[in-house]
Homo-oligomer: A and B are copies of this chain.
Amino acid sequence: MPDDAPPKAPSRIQLRNRRRILDAALDVFAVHGYRGATLDQIADAAGLSKPNILYYFAGKEQIHVTLLNQLMETWLDPLVEMDPGGDPLEEILAYVQRKLDMARDLPRESRLFANEILQGAPRMAPHLKADLKPLFDEKCGIIQSWIDAGKLAPIDPRHLIFAIWATTQHYADFGAQIRVLLDTDAPAPGADPFLQTLFTNLLKPAGR
C-alpha cells in the first residue's frame, strides 16, 4: 500500500492568497529585514487578517523561508545562462546587462537578499554553500579558461563577479541614496552605458 501523500492540488483561493501574502511579505521583509518585520504589517499589506495569514503559512519564519527559496532560483538564473561556448566579452557584458535589468525590475528581491546577507545569512548560508558556491566556482573556471586562451585581460574572475554584483545590485539596494543624489525617481538612469564601458575596458585583452 503506497499511501503516498495525496498531493491535493491547491485551490484557486489557496493560490491567490498565498501569492498575495508572499507579495506583501516581500514588501515588508525587503524594507525591515526579518526581525524588523511583523505579521500585522504583512497581514495589513496583504489585505488579510493575521489569523488568516497563519492559515496559509505555519509562521513568520516559513513565509520568509519560502521567499528566500523562490529568490534563490531567480537570483542564480542570469549567471547560469552564461554560455561557455559564446564570445567571452559578449557573454560577460550580457551578464552585466541581465543583472542590471534585474536590479531595475526586481528591486524588492534585491533588497530582501541584501538584508539576509547583511544579517550574516542566517537562513541562507546552506543555500549559498550548496547552490551558489558550485555555480560560482564553475563560472570562475570558465572565465579563467577564457583568460588563459588570451581572450580576456588577466584579472581575478572572482573579483570580477563580485564587481558585477556590487555595481548592478547597488542601484536597487542603495536606491534611496541614489534618488537623493540624482534628484530623480527613475531607477538607475544612464547606468547601462557606464557599466558596459567599465567592464569592456577592464576585460579587453591588452594586445587589442
Contacts and interface: CB of A to CB of B under 8 A. Distances in A.
A191 B104 CA distance: 27
Copies in the complex: 2
Contacts of A120: 31, 176
Interface stretch (A8-16, A60-68, A158-166): A158-166
Contacts of A178: 162
A56 to B, nearest CB: 24
Contact of A158 (B133, B155, B181): B181
B118 A114 contact: yes
Nearest to A154: B197
Contacts of A174: 114, 117-118, 162, 165-166
Which DSSP category, helix, strand, loop or mixed, fits chain A's interface?
Answer: helix
Given A159-B190, A197-B202, A128 B177 contact: yes
Contacts of A155: 194, 197-198
Given A155-B194, A197-B202, A119 B34 contact: no
Contacts of A129: 180
Contacts of A176: 117-121, 125
B114 A159 contact: no
Given A31-B118, A35-B36, A162-B170, 12 more contacts: A31-B120, A33-B33, A33-B36, A111-B118, A117-B173, A119-B176, A128-B181, A133-B180, A136-B181, A166-B166, A166-B174, A201-B202
